[in-house]
A = this chain, B = another copy of it.
C-alpha cells in the first residue's frame, strides 16, 4: 500500500467547492495549494465554457481524475431515452476534450422521482434501461477511447438518482457488456456509497485494477442529518477509509483519492482555502 507522504495522489472533485468558487477559481486554488488533480462537473465546465476549461487544464498542467457526470438513462418514452443518450454522447465528447481518464456515470432511477413525482415504480424497468443505455453509450465511447465508470450510489438514492446500488451490481453489468474486460467499462468506488456493504472487500477484489477507474472519499457522519447534503470530511465520520484504500490497492488500484463532499451545514459554508487545507491534511493523516 502506498504511503501518502505528500499529496501527489490527491484530487478534488469540484462539487466540493461549488458554493465558494467557479471552476477557474478551483483550478487556480488547487494549483496554488499544490493539489495535482481535479474532477470537474459538467455544469461547472459549462458555466465557464468548455474551451476556457480546456485551456486552463492545459496551461496549468492540472490532471483530471474523472469527469462528472453522464448517466440518468431511464425515461418514460423513447424520445426521453434518446434525449438522455444524446446528452451522454456530449458528455463523452467533453470528457475527451478535457482529457479525462474516464466519464463517471450516475445512472438514474425512476423517471421523475428526482423532480418529486415518479412516473412509475418499476425499478426493474429502470435497471433494464440503464443496462441498455450503457451498452449504447459504450458503442460511442469505445472508439473515442473514453472509459465509462459506473458509480453505484448508496441504496438511499435508488429511487431518484441511481438504481445501481452496489459494486456487485455494477460489476455484473460490466461482465455483461464488456466480458473481455477491455478497459472500456469499469466502476467508481465511492466510499460514501459503498462503505456499508458486507461484500465490499470481495467486490473490490473482483473488480481488479482494470475495472477500478476511480476512488472517491469523504466520510459518513453519525448521525447524518440530510440524505444528500451532509457528507463529512475524511476522519469526521465512521468509515474505515484507510482499510478500504488498502483493499483498493491490493486489487491493483494506484490512482487518485478524489475528495467529493456535499456539505450544506459545514464545508460549503467555509472559506475554500480552508477546505483545501483540510483536505490536504486529512488526505495525509486519514486516507
Q: Which residues of A contact B (CB under 8 A)?
A: 110, 113, 116, 118, 121-123, 127, 154-156, 158-160, 163, 165-166, 169, 195-198, 220, 222-225, 227, 238-240
Contact = CB atoms under 8 A, between A and B. Distances in A.
A196 B116 contact: no
Given A116-B222, A127-B198, A165-B196, A238 B154 contact: no
Contacts of A197: 155, 165
Contacts of A110: 222, 238
A159 B220 contact: yes
Given A121-B239, A227-B227, A240-B123, A159 B222 contact: yes
Nearest to A196: B158
Given A166-B198, A198-B165, A118 B156 contact: no
A156 B159 contact: no
Contacts of A240: 121-123
Nearest to A242: B121
Identify which of A113, A118, A163, A223 gathers the most chain B CB atoms within 10 Å of its CB: A223
A176 to B, nearest CB: 13
A123 B238 CA distance: 9
A176 B95 CA distance: 48
A238 B155 contact: no
B156 A169 contact: no
Contacts of A223: 116, 160, 227
B238 A118 contact: yes
Contacts of A198: 127, 165-166, 169
Nearest to A110: B238
Contacts of A156: 154-156, 224, 227
B222 A123 contact: no
Contacts of A222: 110, 113, 116, 118, 159-160
Contacts of A163: 196
Identify which of A154, A155, A163 gathers the most chain B CB atoms within 10 Å of its CB: A155
A42 B116 CA distance: 36
Identify which of A197, A238, A239 gathers the most chain B CB atoms within 10 Å of its CB: A238
Contacts of A165: 196-198
Contacts of A166: 198
Contacts of A239: 121
Contact of A113 (B127, B160, B227, B238): B238
